[in-house]
Each structure stands twice: as structure tokens, then as C-alpha cells.
A and B are shown apart, each in its own frame.
Chain A
Amino acid sequence: MSDVVMNQVPARRSLPFAQEAFSALAIAGLGAIGYFLFPEDLAFLTRLIGIAFLVLSLCLVTGYCGIATLGHAALFGVAAYAVGIACIRGLTDPIALLGVGIVTGALMGLISGALITRFRALPQLVLSIAIGQLVAGLANKLSWLTGGSDGLSGITPGKVFGIFSFDLYSRTAFLLSMSLLIIVFVLLQRLVNSPFGLMCRAIKDDDLRAKMIGVSIYPRLVLMYGIAGAVAGVGGALTAMSTGVVGLDSVSFERSAEVLVMLVLGGAGHLWGALAGAIVFLIFEHIVAAANPFHWMTMVGLLLILIVVFAPRGLIEPLLSQISRLRQPGSAA
């Protein structure tokens, strides 16, 4: 893993913001392809971006800090429910709702991070599952607040900036999600390459060594969890606003397991990997979803086993090493 960390340190001076600009352009390009080639599927693409925020958030926790969690949907779901409840109670401005989602997500992240990051390995996993199930149980039982198993419906946010209203074809929702994705992605890129982000990687690689050089591990992990919660909150808020409903599926164990699969499919420890995993998995699911659910499960199961056996570091890692090998002769010359 140490070679990867070394690659993250800029070796020489480069144009400021070049990497950020590249990422922003690349994501905008992908979005434009989606917008112009698949105008019928914008609702699906918006949903995809919402989930992509959750995978990015999981990437911060699992990929950069090495925390195995199976309850990550709780962060997403709590934010989505908070946004839904706020919207139904009369707060309809989309930007304000987004703020509600981010704040609740971050709070939930700090709380669950404070509990989960105290331990490692099995106790950590079980705590994360228990927190996820607790939130799912609450969402189901507090039906006066959350609608129980019927979920919340009738979430109708107002116009974005008072100009663009949410339309039937999800154009506004898609463009809003897309711009937020670009902003968040660029910010996260800054974050993971900052000293704080590099320190989180060091904790992941060898927490004992990190402790020995004087890093206090626990506050960093909790802080990272809080940031991850805010990112998941953006996704939850966007999903709640664009679909108009929030259901129990947004906090379910299956959702947590699914995003973990997406992350590892793409490659944990890379923001691009998280994004690629979400895109590949959800498009695959979208295409196969019409088939029998058990065929679908067999396929996903097989896919997972194959990834763990043949590409345990995800799809993006071989790709990136290929790119850097191509660039190596050029930069040496």
C-alpha cells in the first residue's frame, strides 16, 4: 500500500487546480453524455448520482480509514428522512433542505463514528450492523414521524434558487445533482490529498505505527466519519427531493451491503473507484432488474466472489496503474 501513498504526494510542481479542473470536466462530460443520450432515463441517472454520494461517503470511511461497516445506509437514510419530514412540515426551499440533509448526515456520522471507530474487526462490524438496524427499526416503528412501512410521500420541494422548478422529466433534479456531484467530488479530492487525508491513509495502513509517531487516531476517524456523514447527507437529500418519497429501503441492511459491493467493485481507496463502482453496478442492476430476483442475486453473488478472488483491489486499480505506466516514460524524458 505504501507505493500508493507515495503516488499521492505531488512529486513536482504542477499547475494549480489542474487535477480539480480535470475531475470537474470529466464528471461534467459523463453527465452531458447521460443528459443528451438518455433523456428518457434522467430519473434513473439522478437516483444513480444520489447513491454515488453514498458510495463516495463509504469510500472515505472504508477506503481511506479501513473501517469495515455494514450499516452505512443509516447515514443516508437519516438525512433523507430528515429532509422529507422538514419538507412536509413546510420548509420547501431546496437549498435549505440540502442544508438540513448535510447537517443531519454529519451529526449521524459523528454519533455512529464515535461508537464504531472505538473498536476494530468483529466488534466494529457488529456495532455498525446494530446501529444500522436500530435506525431501520426506528424508521419502521416511529410511524407518526416517518410513515412506518408506507414511508414518507408527497415531498414537493419548491424551485431551486426560486427559478427552476422540479419537472416531470427530472431535468432540474439531474442538473442540480450533477453540479453538486462535481463540487463535492472536487472538495473530496482536496480532502483526501490534504495532510489530514494522508494521515487517515496512514492509520488505515498501520494504525500501530501511526500511533507510535504521535497521531491521535480516534478523533481523526470520528471527524472523517462526520465528513462522510455530510456527503451521505447530500445524497439522501437529493434522493428525497428528486423522488418525492422516502421509504424503508433507504435505511435497509441490503442497501448497506449493496453500496459496499459497489465500492469494492470499483476499488476502495479511490474516489474515482467509488464513482465507477456505483455507475457500473447500478447500470448492471438497471438492465438485469427486470429478470427474476433470484437470477439477479445469483449474478451479484457470482460477481462478488469473482472480484474477491481475482481483483480484490477493484476495477479501477489496474486501470490507474496502466495509466501511470503510460505516463511514466513521458515524465522521465
Chain B
Amino acid sequence: MRLVFSILTDALAYGMVLFIISIGLSIMMGLMRVVNLAHGAFAMIGGYLASYALRDLGMHYSVAILIAVVGTILVSIPFEILLYRRIYRNSDPLMQVLMTIGITFLIIGVVNFVFGPTLKSIPLPPLLNGPLDIGFRSLPTHRLFVIACGLVTALSLWLLIEKTEFGIKLRAAVDHSNMADALGIRTEVIYAATFALAIGLGAFGGVVGAEILPIEPFYALRYMVTFLVVVSVGGAGSIVGALSASMLLGLADTTGKYLAPEFGEFFFYLAVIGIVFVFPHGLFGKSHA
């Protein structure tokens, strides 16, 4: 019972981290059809910035998160203007893969040159450190914080996309970009804003999830595949899809690590092959003809 409980908590927290980081990638792939393998690299920048703000500048945890998100978005702007605009929409996936791998390598090299190639810790504030007693059992507070962050992110994204004018325009641009253009919706602005949103979410997830996916020099490469898998299993552009895929894969991975540590990875990818083969557009994805 105790084992089941701790597996479930860990799986939920891990799944939420995957969700917060991957949902940005999912929105971007659903909207702009860019296979952005560099998404993890931006999450890594967020982590490094937060670590720098916390340890070297002595900032408060919440300020550090803000610095990480805003700083990463600022860093990403030149990439968007100079590089990503070339590969939005009708570009060859091979070129997208190559350019974003190139961006990943570049970011890994530069970030490690600037901040040093050691593992960066993100010290937690006393409020989030230690266990929290919830009546019949005590849980690590940080896990609960991560889960709460994931839920809040999912809810506010849902509100943003379903209930606001921006969301309406965004959905119009996803479904028929030429028609949206013709109706006077400025799709480049929508694209730029969505790019910033996606990168910001990635950075946020990188910082919040640093306890579970530690910030280290090869972070961007190590988790590149995982984030892409979450998106393709869930279906690009779907919040429900990303959430369920994150939970599913988080559960599969955590259970595997607890119960059969020697074969966790193997069953994970076997499951991915099975799911992608049966649902090529993901569990909740729409096919873009």
C-alpha cells in the first residue's frame, strides 16, 4: 500500500513536470507544425537562469522563477526572428529537425561556457522543503507543489484557449491559417505570441521540475526524445492529450523504475511504438491533411 502510494505520488509529480514542459512544445507543433527539438534546450536555459538567480544573486524562489521565464523568453526572441520564422508550417521536417538540433547543440555549448559544466542545483525555499502532513500520511511538499503547478497550468491554458479572444484567433490560425489571414487576423503576431508562451512554459517547467529532472549540462539532449514522445503520444496541439500522455508515460516510467529497474526504458519505448503505430496522430490529435 505504501509502495503503491509513493509510486502514484511520484508518477503524478513526474507526469506533471512532463506536462508543463511538453505542453509548450505541443502547442507549438500543433500550431506551427515545427518539430522543435530545441524545446528542452530552452527549458534548460530557464533552469540555469533560476539556479544563477537563486545561488549567486540570492533571490527569492518566486522571483527566480519569474527571472527564468522572462529571461528565457528574451533569449528566445532572436532565435524566433532569425531562425524559427523560416521553418514555420510548410517546411520540410528534415530541415526542421536539423535546424532545431543545431540550435540545441549551440545552446548547450554556450550555456555551459557561460555557467560552467557542472550540475546546477535549484535550492528550494524552506516552505517547499521537507514533508507535509496531510492527515494519514506525509508527502514531500515539493511534489505537491509540482502537481499544483501542473493543474494550474492546465486550467489556465484551457481558459486561455477556449475562453479568450486570443484563444479564438489562435484556434482559427491552427485550423485555417490562410483563411484567418484573409479575415484580418495577424497570424505572425499570433505565432510570435504562441512561440513566447511555449518557451515560457518550457522554462517554467524546467525550473519547477528541476528536483525531478535535474539541470545538468546534457539536459537538452537527454530529455529531447522524452518531450517529443509525450507530444506525439498525446497528439500535437491538444491539452487533454498532453495531460493524459504525460500521466500515462509518467506512470509507466515510474512504475518501471520502482518495480523492474533493469527494463524500465525498454517497455517505455515498446509502449510508444505500439501507441504511435495504432494512433499515428496521437491519442487526442487531429490529422492535418
CA A278 to CA B110, docked complex, whole Å: 26
Please tell me if B199 contacts chain A, counting CB pairs below 8 Å. Answer: no
Please tell me if A104 contacts chain B, counting CB pairs below 8 Å. Answer: no
List of B residues within 8 angstroms of A66 by Cβ: 94
A299: shortest Cβ distance to chain B, in Å?
Answer: 8
A115 & B109 in contact (Cβ 8 Å cutoff): no
CA A305 to CA B107, docked complex, whole Å: 12
Q: For chain A residues 118-140, which have a beta carbon within 8 Å of chain B? A: 118-119, 121-123, 125-127, 129-131, 133-134, 137-138, 140
A253 & B105 in contact (Cβ 8 Å cutoff): no
- Segment from A24-32, A87-95, A257-265 that makes contact with B: A257-265
Q: For chain B residues 237-289, which have a beta carbon within 8 Å of chain A? A: 262-263, 265-266, 269-270, 272-273, 276-277, 280-281
Please tell me if B73 contacts chain A, counting CB pairs below 8 Å. Answer: no
A308 & B93 in contact (Cβ 8 Å cutoff): no
The residue from B94, B221, B266, B273 contacting A268, defined by CB atoms under 8 A apart: B94
With contacts A122-B35, A123-B281, A297-B108 known, is A308 near B102, CB below 8 A?
A: yes
CA A280 to CA B229, docked complex, whole Å: 32
B229 & A138 in contact (Cβ 8 Å cutoff): no
List of B residues within 8 angstroms of A140 by Cβ: 265
B180: shortest Cβ distance to chain A, in Å?
Answer: 22
List of B residues within 8 angstroms of A125 by Cβ: 35, 93, 97, 228
Please tell me if B16 contacts chain A, counting CB pairs below 8 Å. Answer: no
CA A89 to CA B214, docked complex, whole Å: 42
A261 & B98 in contact (Cβ 8 Å cutoff): yes
B113 & A295 in contact (Cβ 8 Å cutoff): yes
B98 & A298 in contact (Cβ 8 Å cutoff): no
Please tell me if B215 contacts chain A, counting CB pairs below 8 Å. Answer: no
CA A95 to CA B228, docked complex, whole Å: 41
Please tell me if B101 contacts chain A, counting CB pairs below 8 Å. Answer: yes
B102 & A304 in contact (Cβ 8 Å cutoff): yes
Main secondary structure of the interface of B (DSSP, over half): helix
List of B residues within 8 angstroms of A122 by Cβ: 29, 35, 93, 232, 236
B277 & A127 in contact (Cβ 8 Å cutoff): yes
With contacts A295-B113, A297-B108, A302-B106 known, is A130 near B99, CB below 8 A?
A: no
B237: shortest Cβ distance to chain A, in Å?
Answer: 11
The residue from A119, A261, A312 contacting B101, defined by CB atoms under 8 A apart: A261
B266 & A260 in contact (Cβ 8 Å cutoff): no
Task: Give the bracket for the number of chain A residues in contact with chain B.
Answer: 35 or more
Please tell me if A303 contacts chain B, counting CB pairs below 8 Å. Answer: yes
List of B residues within 8 angstroms of A137 by Cβ: 265-266, 269
B224 to chain A: closest residue by CB: A253
A295 & B109 in contact (Cβ 8 Å cutoff): yes
B266 & A123 in contact (Cβ 8 Å cutoff): no
Please tell me if A294 contacts chain B, counting CB pairs below 8 Å. Answer: yes
A309 & B86 in contact (Cβ 8 Å cutoff): yes
CA A233 to CA B250, docked complex, whole Å: 36
Please tell me if A301 contacts chain B, counting CB pairs below 8 Å. Answer: yes
A141 & B101 in contact (Cβ 8 Å cutoff): no
List of B residues within 8 angstroms of A184 by Cβ: none
A299 to chain B: closest residue by CB: B109
B101 & A257 in contact (Cβ 8 Å cutoff): yes
B274 to chain A: closest residue by CB: A130
Contact with A along B216-239 (1 / 0, CB 8 A): 010001000100110010001000
A130 & B94 in contact (Cβ 8 Å cutoff): no
Interface centre among A66, A299, A301 (most CB of B within 10 A): A301
Please tell me if B112 contacts chain A, counting CB pairs below 8 Å. Answer: yes
Please tell me if A180 contacts chain B, counting CB pairs below 8 Å. Answer: no
Please tell me if B22 contacts chain A, counting CB pairs below 8 Å. Answer: no
A254 & B101 in contact (Cβ 8 Å cutoff): no
CA A70 to CA B107, docked complex, whole Å: 20
Task: Give the bracket for the number of chain B residues in contact with chain A.
Answer: 35 or more
A119 & B228 in contact (Cβ 8 Å cutoff): no
Please tell me if B103 contacts chain A, counting CB pairs below 8 Å. Answer: yes
Please tell me if A192 contacts chain B, counting CB pairs below 8 Å. Answer: no
A307 & B94 in contact (Cβ 8 Å cutoff): no
Please tell me if B155 contacts chain A, counting CB pairs below 8 Å. Answer: no
A141 & B262 in contact (Cβ 8 Å cutoff): yes
Interface centre among A130, A131, A138, A296 (most CB of B within 10 A): A130
A134 & B269 in contact (Cβ 8 Å cutoff): yes
Please tell me if B51 contacts chain A, counting CB pairs below 8 Å. Answer: no
With contacts A134-B273, A138-B266, A309-B83 known, is A129 near B228, CB below 8 A?
A: yes
A301 & B105 in contact (Cβ 8 Å cutoff): yes
A123 & B276 in contact (Cβ 8 Å cutoff): yes
Please tell me if A68 contacts chain B, counting CB pairs below 8 Å. Answer: yes
CA A159 to CA B101, docked complex, whole Å: 42
B277 & A298 in contact (Cβ 8 Å cutoff): no
A126 & B109 in contact (Cβ 8 Å cutoff): no
The residue from B105, B113, B281 contacting A300, defined by CB atoms under 8 A apart: B105
A115 & B102 in contact (Cβ 8 Å cutoff): no
A300 to chain B: closest residue by CB: B105
Please tell me if A62 contacts chain B, counting CB pairs below 8 Å. Answer: yes
With contacts A133-B225, A133-B269, A134-B266 known, is A119 near B102, CB below 8 A?
A: no
Contacts A122-B93, A298-B110 supplied; 9 other A-B pairs, CB < 8 Å: A118-B280, A123-B276, A123-B281, A130-B269, A134-B269, A294-B217, A296-B109, A298-B109, A304-B102
A/B interface sample: 27 pairs, CB < 8 A: A70-B97, A115-B277, A118-B280, A122-B93, A123-B232, A126-B272, A129-B228, A130-B276, A134-B269, A137-B265, A137-B269, A141-B262, A260-B97, A260-B98, A261-B98, A264-B94, A294-B109, A294-B217, A298-B106, A298-B110, A300-B102, A300-B105, A301-B107, A302-B102, A307-B98, A309-B83, A309-B86
- Please provide the 10 A-B residue pairs with the shortest distance between their CB atoms, ordered closest to farther: A298-B109, A304-B102, A301-B105, A301-B106, A123-B280, A297-B109, A126-B232, A305-B102, A294-B112, A137-B265
